[in-house]
Amino acid sequence: MNQNLFDMLGGLRTGGEAVCFVLPDGRTISYRALIARSSQFANALVAAGVSPGDRVAVQIEKSWESIALYLATIRAGAVFLPLNTAYTPAEVSYFLSDAEPRIFVCDPARESSLAESSHDARIMTMSAAGAGSLPAMADTASREFATVERSGDDLAAILYTSGTTGRSKGAMLTHSNLASNAKTLVTAWQFTKADRLIHALPIFHTHGLFVACNVTLACGSSMIFLPGFSVDEIFRFLPEATCLMGVPTFYTRLLQDSRLNREATAGIRLFVSGSAPLLAETHDEWRARTGHAILERYGMSETNMNTSNPYEGERIAGTVGLPLPGVTIRITDLSTGEVKGVGEVGAIEVAGPNVFSGYWRMPEKTAAEFRGEFFNTGDVGVIDQRGYVSIVGRTKDLIISGGYNIYPKEVESEIDALEGVMESAVIGLPHPDFGEAVTAVVVLKPGCALTEEFIKQELSQRLARFKVPKRISFVKELPRNVMGKVQKNVLRESATQIGT
Ligand code: AMP
């Protein structure tokens, strides 16, 4: 049987006239129309020289047609390579020189500025409104396309990791990585054709593309496809939806709006959060205001989704839940690699059909991150008696001060628990005596005026001396990337520059 992801996403086969996309202007796009458009794009890609195994890189605005292009690439047996729309021409140049795609699709407005970034790739264009050389070519192409035969181990996509340290690496995902994870999530989260998801995430990332879209396409449900996150648009569509998938910032922003209450969320059966830690406080406030317990899950570009709080059963705030069926998680010692027991903190390693096949053209880096079938996620965490996983930070964010290991999350949780604190980020900065000095960057709630001395004093009653920040600075907001992740590298850089 053809293991091509397109054939494995069952909802695509059975969708027919059912609605797949609801657009903000009220138009709807059926499964039949999506498949026909993907055939046209696939024919256009083949005519433009794409063969199985070739990479097709895209840096385009979100639209339903960009999902048709994703499916077209997969159907042609090629490898889909989505790029963050915020990347500059210099960054794009690196990705394209590394991945050597056959085709690079960009927005028509950026074509000239990206001309020199494309290397040997043929540049084609496509706008969110469906204009450009690729859609024009597709318009005249056949609405039929025979999906290319692929094995489960063939590559379907490459996602470049955000690369906050060193060069960005291309995570190679196979057809079966993506198909198996979509199937697992449909079952775990009880998705059916009747679901309607509010899709307000970007589609160049695992969350918006492989979780949100693949789950929808796997079960034949529909999505309200928004160009981005807007509080007003979410409130407009909540009454028509059954599910929202978001990053924690979606939830904190919605909580700031007085329209958020039980009535506004009455039709929703599932709120999912991921990509960055959801504060326990946000979880609790959300539950108090709406009656819903947000389901937090944990995954990454390299592995798709690893763990999820249960659909039925207790969703525990501050944890990322249990390993998904078929996924094995173990915690290992950060220096010796020895497998740790319940309640012991260490490196999170993961094995399963979801785990990628390696970094593109980086065999040494790949070998360094795998031990047998286990991939070292770079996250540090702990598993409790009941099997729930909690993440305490990234290995690279671990602070070593005076020979002691400090997990930023532990210090952040104590700071966040102080009355008047909105949130915080704890980082290590170079220090002549200690190696690194624990440093906190704190955001206060409006109207609150805590001092550095006060916070230090409070913390010294709760934390061992070596964990208490040596310096605390205050900012209006923490720097976050588009997926809501706090950019600790940015904090480290700016703090070093101002000599904090
Ligand atoms: P990315 O590859 O961009 O999706 O980033 C993956 C990383 O995001 C993971 O390795 C974690 O560090 C972080 N992450 C994802 N989901 C969660 C979560 N629910 N809680 C905390 N961190 C998360």
pLDDT at residue 207 tops 50: yes
Atom 4 of ligand 1 has which residue's CA nearest to it?
A: 300
Q: How far is the CA of 384 from the centre of ligand 1 (A)?
A: 19
Q: 253 near 226, Cβ under 8 Å? A: no
Tens digit of each residue's pLDDT (9 = 90 or more) over 52-106: 999 999 999 999 999 999 999 999 999 999 999 988 898 899 999 999 999 999 9
pLDDT value for 499: 47
Tokens of 324: 């998904």
Residue with tokens 């005026």: 449
Distance from C-alpha of 228 to C-alpha of 233, rounded to nearest angstrom: 9
pLDDT value for 58: 98
Q: Is 303 in the pocket of ligand 1 (CB under 6 A)?
A: no
H/E run at residue 371: strand 370-371
- Taking alpha carbons only, the member of 2, 311, 13 closest to residue 186 is 311
pLDDT at residue 178 tops 90: yes
Which residues, at least 6 apart from 128, have a Cβ–Cβ distance to it below 8 Å?
60, 61, 62, 63, 66, 107, 227
Cα 432 to Cα 327, 395, 401, 440, 472, distances in angstroms: 43, 22, 11, 18, 18
Q: Is 66 in the pocket of ligand 1 (CB under 6 A)?
A: no
Atom 23 of ligand 1 has which residue's CA nearest to it?
A: 276
Could you identify the atom of ligand 1 that is nearest to the CA of residue 162? 3
- Taking alpha carbons only, the member of 5, 11, 107 closest to residue 63 is 107
Q: How far is the CA of 420 from the centre of ligand 1 (A)?
A: 27
Residue 398 confidence class, pLDDT cut points 50, 70, 90: confident
- Mean confidence (pLDDT) of the chain: 95
Percent of the chain with pLDDT over 70: 98
pLDDT value for 166: 61
Could you identify the atom of ligand 1 that is nearest to the CA of residue 206? 4
pLDDT value for 168: 86
Q: 423 near 491, Cβ under 8 Å? A: no
Which residues, at least 6 apart from 324, have a Cβ–Cβ distance to it below 8 Å?
181, 184, 185, 188, 305, 306, 307, 308, 352, 354
Atom 7 of ligand 1 has which residue's CA nearest to it?
A: 300
Could you identify the atom of ligand 1 that is nearest to the CA of residue 297? 19
pLDDT value for 163: 58
pTM, two decimals, is: 0.91
Residue with tokens 């059954």: 242
pLDDT value for 405: 83
Q: For residue 466, what is the DSSP state?
A: G
Average pLDDT over residues 308-316: 98
Q: 8 near 78, Cβ under 8 Å? A: no
Average pLDDT over residues 297-323: 97
pLDDT value for 496: 64
Instruction: Among 332-346, 442-456, 481-495, name the one with the lowest average pLDDT.
Output: 481-495
Average pLDDT over residues 229-246: 98
Give, to the nearest 10 degrees, the angle between helix 452-460 and helix 408-416: 110
Which residues, at least 6 apart from 255, have a Cβ–Cβ distance to it below 8 Å?
282, 285, 286, 289
Distance from C-alpha of 93 to C-alpha of 99, rounded to nearest angstrom: 10
Tens digit of each residue's pLDDT (9 = 90 or more) over 105-126: 999 999 999 999 999 999 999 9
Cα 283 to Cα 35, 323, 408, 490, distances in angstroms: 38, 20, 20, 27
pLDDT value for 498: 46
Average pLDDT over residues 371-376: 97
Q: Is 204 in the pocket of ligand 1 (CB under 6 A)?
A: no
Percent of the chain with pLDDT over 90: 87
Atom 1 of ligand 1 has which residue's CA nearest to it?
A: 300
Atom 5 of ligand 1 has which residue's CA nearest to it?
A: 300
Distance from C-alpha of 50 to C-alpha of 101, rounded to nearest angstrom: 9
Q: 79 near 73, Cβ under 8 Å? A: yes
Q: How far is the CA of 300 from the centre of ligand 1 (A)?
A: 5
Test site for ligand 1: of 205, 210, 298, 423, most ligand atoms within 8 A of the Cβ = 298
Q: Is 391 in the pocket of ligand 1 (CB under 6 A)?
A: yes
Atom 6 of ligand 1 has which residue's CA nearest to it?
A: 300
Give the CA angle between residues 42, 47, 51 to the nearest 5°. 70
Tens digit of each residue's pLDDT (9 = 90 or more) over 480-500: 988 888 999 899 988 765 444
Q: Which long-range contacts (CB under 8 A, 24 or more apart) does 176-179 make?
A: 176/3, 176/8, 176/152, 176/353, 177/304, 177/353, 177/354, 177/355, 177/356, 177/357, 178/5, 178/210, 178/214, 178/304, 179/3, 179/5, 179/8, 179/9, 179/152
